[in-house]
Structure 1
Amino acid sequence: MLMLLAFACVALAWWARWRARRWRLRTLANQLPGPPALPVLGNALMLIRNPEEIFITFGKLKKEYGRAFRFWLGPDLNYCISEPDYVKILLQSRKLNERGPQYKYMVDFLGYGILSGSGPVWRKRRKLISPNYSHKAIENYSYAFNEETGFLLQRLRARPVGKSFNIYEEVVNTTTYTVCQTLFGLSREQTLNLPYLQEIVNDTHQMYAEAFMRMTKWYLQIEPYYWLSEYYSRHKKFIQKTKYMVEAVVRHRVRKLNDTSLIELDDSEIEFNKHEVFSTVDKLILEKSIDYDEMLKQIFTIFTTSQETSANIASFLLLMMAYHPESQEKLYAEIKEIFGGEDRHVTDEDVKRMPYLDMVFKEVVRLFPIAAMVQRTVMEDIDISHGVTLPAGSSLAVLIFHMHRDEEFWSDPEAFDPERFSPERSAARHPYCYIPFSLGSMNCLGRYFGTKLVKTICIRVLREFKLTSPETYADLKLLCAVSVESVNGYPVFLKPRLN
């Protein structure tokens, strides 16, 4: 009893000291509405629920308090924003160039990479690998995109007609092998022989979900509790597997660099040598300021943010076509007009001639954005409007998922309607209510890579197969963790088309 009383006294003293030191933060917090907060815990108890319910909670808070409200996660003050005028200012501000504090739970298995990092070192790394995601570089990836999609079609042809399956499981293998052969510079044989590759692909969803749980559940942020949990044990095993896989990638590229006498190049020559583009892995190997363990995490970040995200978008697009036969037939007619009955490689010129495909793609990433929300740390006080100041030391959470489904900006926002991205309807809409790849200096680096890969896969799959699903759009349940996912997978039936 005495120990419990002592603990209570210590907790109360800590809380009183925190309130005194954070007086200004608490005062400015009251400039925006928000739910009543408990001592120490803040509003954290509101997030102790299933991951698929957390964003329902944020949706209710948005409905009650508006597009700008405050939310206390323990002692951390968060501003939840889904007002486009504010988003435009905030995500492009230099005062918000640091990831939010919850990203630290991604750092354990991603390091300070392009997804979880920020600051000068992060900017240097991003600048180093950005050319590998440019339009020019992606032109050189077309062959790999198409070849791996060809192998995907072979696997789909071998599936029994009339039996549903989760198409993500096939698509993610395609995006995985493609990333390894483009951004990593491996051969297909080297890719298929990487240790633990398939296990990592299968487990990545779970690891992201558990990282999100740590972001939102206060008790998992208590390190001793986390170390004793089943999550920590799984996490350590996953990290070990990723290390083995990435070390194999590095060995392949070091061998290649040595064989072609590229390892001795000066920094100024890192972009090209004899017209050969360096892979992202090559550039990190040649970067002298990065230590070995951090390099491995950087490489895995590039891997998972490219293959998993692309597979997710492609699977959603194909599932939406299965749910919406009229849209599928309209898209098929566009594909048929360009490709006829020929199964050939998709070119950039082909994609440019497909406006309906572009509308379908945009509608998919509106409904299922790559990041349901993004968080930034407020480094300096920043005024947003009408005397409202976000104070230094607080965090900003931009609710992209909810902004994309706000009925003020989108008619019938829950419906799947590619026509809402026609030029006429797009021109009449607020330009910042749609940010599927985020905004500003920390936007999605792989947006061009992913867009082209997804469109290549979907064109060739839909040219050859008619898709249906054992479920309907009304049955779709979403899990909004680090990204937006379908709780029940992506179940489809395939029916070969007669050319």
Structure 2
Amino acid sequence: MFSIAALTICLLFGLLYLWYKAEKRKYADLDKLPGPVPHFFYGNALEFGNNIVESFNNIERLFNTYGPLLRIWQNGLKLSVFVVNPNIVEYFLSSNVHIKKSAGYDLYQPWLGQGLINNAGEIWRKHRKILTPAFHLKVLEQFPESFHKSGEVLIKKLKKQEGKDIDIYEFIILYAMDAICDSSMRIDVNAQETGDTTYIDAVKRFLEIYLTRFFSFFNKYEFFFQFSPKYKQYRKDIEYLQSFTSSVIEQRKRERIANLDEEETDEFGRKKRRKVFLDILLDSNQMTDQEIREEVDTFLFGGHDTISSTISFGLFELTRNPDVQERLFEEIESVVGIDKDEPITLGHLNEMGYMDRVVKEVFRLYPAAPLIERELQEEVIVDGLKYPKGTTISFHLYIQHRRSELFPEPEKFDPDRFLPEYVASRHKFAYIPFSAGPRNCIGQKYATINTKITIANVLRHFVLQPVEPAHKPILANDAVLKSMNGLLIKLKLR
């Protein structure tokens, strides 16, 4: 009896070993790529460290060690290819087949469900088609009005901080909440006036946990994570974030009913304002209440967190580059005039060529989403290497944008690298701050307009100065590029 049991166990282990070897053989070609030596069970999971700062720095170290195309074993059986080579980046991001995000994005689902960030296939195509009109030029023309309204409050708050060393991010993120809710939801949340950071803090905690789970061998699985001491707060934060979004939707529904006639036409019978993001969702008749909430969750997250980081990094860089700041101020004043309170329009922005280059340089050095991923939907062969179906392709925008062969003197803040002659000489996929191809960021025009107008409005009122001693940001990725020690600047009224 014992011998039969022992034989059965040996047979099972033998079959398991054969299965393991067969799974490993799928990646035989990709295993030839440079990369750290993996453990047979947990792969290279320990390469990333224990927190988001370590993870960010260690990924950069891996690229510096192994080059622009490297392989990382997520565990003993799952392999990722990390790439910052624009030729290979173009191959995958331009594909209409490989549009599925990696399994890591599933960690967003408890909060964002099947919003645009992590759905795929027909659901993604349907929702993208519904939402595209929300970013039409005629809708975009309304955004500056909202940015000006929220910007007036920002300037008022900043005037009280003149001469002090401040973390500009703390002010910009509240501005971004007001701006996204007013411009795309037509809801006043008055985040700047109340100083209420409950929503912002909940997002911050969720994202810190998200990235920790993303690079963790055990905690990425719900079964193990539920035993974490952070799990209870994590579930509480998700419940709050979703209830906040639901309250925004219900408030907009009530206001649409109460102000329907006033909202639709002016005294001459002309439409006063076109529908915005939330109105388009509510009027689509093609989405369930849950689907609407998930897309609003997604856009609220993307519309305040990514933009606030970008604007803050931009203002910080201007303190370190006073020549750029002065040239930019002169352009703003020549286009808009000397009246500091004159609203900036899309027409004004179209005349600001230097502003366009400055903002592109901010996006280059500080891409809001520094790491994006895709999961291959079918086997492909690229440069003679077989990439099996299910392989994860990881694109590190932050590192790619700082490669000297793509951008000479990459650490230098140089807006003129976006002059037409330099742009024409670069690979078209060298610069991809909003991803590229069919799954590029739907909100990139919103982000660009908001960033330009906010930077312009701050510069019209203040000279931006560095703090002493010089502040050095500690960068990390919690799904959005952040400075963990803030972005300290000093303001001087013009």
TM-score (norm 1): 0.88
Please tell me whether residue 106 in structure 1 is matched to residue 108 in structure 2.
Answer: yes
Please tell me whether residue 321 in structure 1 is matched to residue 322 in structure 2.
Answer: no
Q: 1:474/1:102 Cα in 2 relative to 1: closer, same or farther (>3 Å)?
A: same
1:104 Cα offset (Å): 0.7
Does the CA-based 8 Å contact 2:467-2:489 persist in structure 1? Answer: yes
Query: Which residue number corresponds to residue 208 of structure 1?
Result: 207
1:80 Cα offset (Å): 0.8
Q: Distance in 1 between matches of 2:326 and 2:413?
A: 15
Please provide the CA RMSD for this pair. Answer: 2.7
Alignment equivalent of 2:160, drawn from 158, 161, 173? 158
Q: Which moved more, 1:273-282 or 1:372-381?
A: 273-282
Give CA-to-partner distance per residue, 1:434-480, whole Å, 9 cap, x none.
11110111111111001101111110111110111225777222112
Q: 1:408/1:258 Cα in 2 relative to 1: closer, same or farther (>3 Å)?
A: same
Give CA-to-partner distance per residue, 1:144-174, whole Å, 9 cap, x none.
1111111111111222x32111111111122
Query: Which residue number corresponds to residue 490 of structure 1?
Result: 487
Q: Distance in 2 between matches of 1:471 and 1:131?
A: 47
Aligned pairs for 1:318-467 within 5 A: 318-343=315-340, 344-385=342-383, 387-467=384-464
Alignment equivalent of 1:120, drawn from 119, 122, 126? 122
Q: Distance in 2 between matches of 1:483 and 1:314?
A: 13
Query: Which residue number corresponds to residue 268 of structure 1?
Result: none
Does the CA-based 8 Å contact 1:471-1:491 persist in structure 2? Answer: no
Q: Distance in 2 between matches of 1:462 and 1:12?
A: 68
Q: 1:225/1:214 Cα in 2 relative to 1: closer, same or farther (>3 Å)?
A: same
**Counterpart amino acid of 1:139?**
E
Q: 1:280/1:336 Cα in 2 relative to 1: closer, same or farther (>3 Å)?
A: closer
Q: 1:11/1:137 Cα in 2 relative to 1: closer, same or farther (>3 Å)?
A: farther
Q: Distance in 1 between matches of 2:11 and 2:144?
A: 62
Give CA-to-partner distance per residue, 1:359-385, whole Å, 9 cap, x none.
111111111102111100101112222
Query: Which residue number corresponds to residue 81 of structure 1?
Result: 83
**Counterpart amino acid of 2:234?**
H
Query: Which residue number corresponds to residue 280 of structure 1?
Result: 277
- Seq. identity, %: 27
Number of aligned residue pairs: 476
1:177 Cα offset (Å): 1.1
* SS class of match (2:40): coil
Does the CA-based 8 Å contact 1:375-1:396 persist in structure 2? Answer: yes
Alignment equivalent of 1:97, drawn from 73, 96, 99? 99
Does the CA-based 8 Å contact 1:135-1:448 persist in structure 2? Answer: no
Query: Which residue number corresponds to residue 35 of structure 2?
Result: 34
* SS class of match (1:475): coil
* SS class of match (2:185): coil
Q: 1:261/1:80 Cα in 2 relative to 1: closer, same or farther (>3 Å)?
A: same
Q: Distance in 2 between matches of 1:257 and 1:157?
A: 35
Give CA-to-partner distance per residue, 1:285-321, whole Å, 9 cap, x none.
3455544344322211111101111111111110101
Query: Which residue number corresponds to residue 307 of structure 2?
Result: 310
Query: Which residue number corresponds to residue 133 of structure 1?
Result: 135
1:117 Cα offset (Å): 2.1
Q: Which moved more, 1:360-369 or 1:10-19?
A: 10-19
Does the CA-based 8 Å contact 1:382-1:389 persist in structure 2? Answer: yes
Give CA-to-partner distance per residue, 1:24-46, whole Å, 9 cap, x none.
42323234332221112111111
Q: Distance in 2 between matches of 1:354 and 1:286?
A: 36
Query: Which residue number corresponds to residue 224 of structure 2?
Result: 225
* SS class of match (1:116): coil
**Counterpart amino acid of 1:155?**
K
Give CA-to-partner distance per residue, 1:166-216, whole Å, 9 cap, x none.
111111122211111121122x3x666999963012332332121111111
Q: Distance in 1 between matches of 2:15 and 2:252?
A: 52
Does the CA-based 8 Å contact 2:307-2:447 persist in structure 1? Answer: yes
Q: 1:96/1:14 Cα in 2 relative to 1: closer, same or farther (>3 Å)?
A: farther
Q: Which moved more, 1:113-122 or 1:395-404?
A: 113-122
Q: 1:9/1:106 Cα in 2 relative to 1: closer, same or farther (>3 Å)?
A: farther
Q: Which moved more, 1:412-421 or 1:400-409?
A: 412-421
Q: Distance in 1 between matches of 2:184 and 2:63?
A: 39
TM-score (norm 2): 0.89
Does the CA-based 8 Å contact 2:191-2:197 persist in structure 1? Answer: no
**Counterpart amino acid of 2:295?**
Q
Q: Which moved more, 1:431-440 or 1:109-118?
A: 109-118
Give CA-to-partner distance per residue, 1:69-90, whole Å, 9 cap, x none.
2111113211111111111111
1:404 Cα offset (Å): 0.5
Please tell me whether residue 178 in structure 1 is matched to residue 179 in structure 2.
Answer: yes
**Counterpart amino acid of 1:122?**
W
Give CA-to-partner distance per residue, 1:241-274, whole Å, 9 cap, x none.
1122112112122224445779xxxxxxxxxx96
**Counterpart amino acid of 1:251?**
E
Q: Distance in 1 between matches of 2:281 and 2:10?
A: 51
* SS class of match (1:69): strand
* SS class of match (2:202): helix
